[in-house]
Chain A
């Protein structure tokens, strides 16, 4: 008895008028295509990336602020949390645990997110100016649940990591990581739904608020 796999592939080949796999010449063309992964047509991307990112992120209902250096992030986060009457308690990606949070009055824990966590602080692999999007790659120091379960997501984004388009983001992943991690998440603003009467509501299952802290150097 043949397997479902063989039966499906056989009927696909029959449909394409072949009884065998792709010819060697054709296979080579397709392999080259995969290896070269050419970039398709893109719209004009001639704006200044940081300004464009901020503008698009705000259009997606994120808030954006800029600080001079990574050391200034805890104070900025504390001010944001106070301004929104949010608890000064957060879970953070392990890579940011060592910042001086206690000086700013914020207590942080670098662990897996739980239901009752109110604030999650993450970094990003890079950000995309065209759409105002954050890209996170999962890993030991970048757990995906931090940007998902808490009602408030704060993202630390170095300006130098803002690329123009998704194609540029893929190029960066290829050159710096080689392979995709388990979870590659493009995040564009707070979670939302318009299922009832096409009326937009922020905060469906994920965060109600996304606050981006841009870091200049």
Chain B
């Protein structure tokens, strides 16, 4: 996927002015947020399970090499071929080689964010292989040549009307407006692709060390199709996705669908282990698994290790006031929202994603809902510190911070300056007690008024009351 994370501010401003997007994003607050809350309440010991899930992920990361090697051995024993890739390019090259070796002309894909990282579709198309996205959301995006804007609900930025127009144009069929009919039309278009495809490409929500299995969690059934019908199955995933045992998986699966879509379980949890048995009548004959690093081991070595616990549920973005307002495209790469604002700078370089650590209010909604307890606001703050240390923030901001730090270190001067500022701002507020525009704060006052202070600082008030 093209990287445009440098332009968050400009894009966010643009997105805020888009009424269709505002309408589309309503679904987050109306469905995802209450949906999650309702199914979390089903678990009488949610916090205990959450702590156990975080511990499973922590333990795995601390012994990652051991669990990866165990996984590789078990998967190989069952007839899968395990490949390792250090970069996105290497991963794409492996997929292309498998395709060439097996005479693949058409591939169907189940949703995979790792393949979005790699821009795998472009690589396949470049090699003359037809690739069809089969998740309804991803299919809509492929038709419209757009990137996903959410890791779970990739077309959350689109309204039904926009999908109606797109299908009418691309399918050359009468325009339908009923969501059920639109879904049926996509089903009928995609079914032949499943039946004709030579290769099924999926991601993996987890891979299990104990059994050498990969697994995907889906609702539509396209993941099952892609792992059942084509003669070759390729699963591509990050090295951090390994879990030790099937029991650990059960713990994580109590949290993943609940946190993601507000379901107590997803429709299909499909675990694939090795290749088809001699006496089986369906299922692929070849199974390839690609384990991708592409920055993950670098994160493992850094103070951002906690982000590798992420199980890609999307709860952090669903609950983020910034994401809820601007949607996922503003973030400019594969992973949006709070988890994306931590991952993207780590994957593509802090200097290429300057705004992202600031695309948050640090309200900690994300931290509260994260099923594996990733301290997202703390990680974002660390990224901000790193930016400051490396001189990556604008001169004006740095100067302002230096002034503030000087003031904060000189209490009497601080008292005098804030006292003066409170009086000036109070006077500016006038009878309405609101400030509509500020010389150095236009960005803030553009969308709303600043309530004017009462004319006295907290310190002054405290001194007066304390003296009583």
CB atoms of B277 and A182 under 8 A apart: yes
Chain A hits for B134, CB < 8 A: 205
Interface check A180, CB cutoff 8 A: yes
Range, interface on chain A? 35 or more
Chain A, 94-118, contact with B by CB distance < 8 Å: what is the 0/1 string? 0000000000000000011101000
B8: min CB distance to chain A, Å: 25
Chain A, 21-57, contact with B by CB distance < 8 Å: what is the 0/1 string? 1100011001001100111111110000000000010
Residue on B nearest A173 in the bound complex, by CB = B246
Interface check A152, CB cutoff 8 A: no
Interface check A70, CB cutoff 8 A: no
**Which of A's residues lie within 8 Å of B, judged by CB?**
3-5, 7-9, 11-16, 21-22, 26-27, 30, 33-34, 37-44, 56, 60, 111-113, 115, 131, 133, 138-140, 143-145, 148, 165-167, 170, 173, 179-199, 201, 203-207
Range, interface on chain B? 35 or more
CB atoms of A196 and B282 under 8 A apart: no
**Contacts A9-B69, A43-B44, A148-B221 known; A183 to B227 CB distance under 8 Å?**
yes
Give Cα A199 to B177, complex, Å. 13
A147: min CB distance to chain B, Å: 9
CB atoms of A4 and B137 under 8 A apart: no
Of all A-B residue pairs in the complex, the 4 with the closest CB atoms, nearest first, are: A206-B221, A204-B220, A15-B301, A198-B27
**Which of B's residues lie within 8 Å of A, judged by CB?**
24, 27, 30-32, 42-45, 48-49, 52-53, 56, 62-70, 83-86, 90, 134-137, 140, 153-156, 158-160, 163, 179-180, 182-184, 187, 190-191, 194-195, 209-211, 213, 219-222, 224-225, 227-229, 239, 244-251, 253-254, 261, 264-277, 279-283, 291, 293, 297-298, 300-301
Chain A hits for B250, CB < 8 A: 39-40, 165-167, 170
Give Cα A16 to B133, complex, Å. 37
CB atoms of B300 and A12 under 8 A apart: yes
CB atoms of A182 and B275 under 8 A apart: yes
Give Cα A37 to B70, complex, Å. 14
Give Cα A143 to B180, complex, Å. 29
A-B contact pairs, 5 of them (CB 8 A): A21-B65, A43-B254, A144-B224, A195-B140, A204-B183
Chain A hits for B220, CB < 8 A: 191-193, 204-206
B150: min CB distance to chain A, Å: 10
Chain B hits for A11, CB < 8 A: 86, 293, 297-298, 301
| With A183-B283, A205-B134, A205-B225 already in contact, 4 other A-B pairs whose C-beta atoms are closer than 8 Å | A43-B45, A144-B228, A182-B276, A196-B183
CB atoms of A12 and B179 under 8 A apart: no
Give Cα A181 to B270, complex, Å. 12
CB atoms of B153 and A194 under 8 A apart: yes
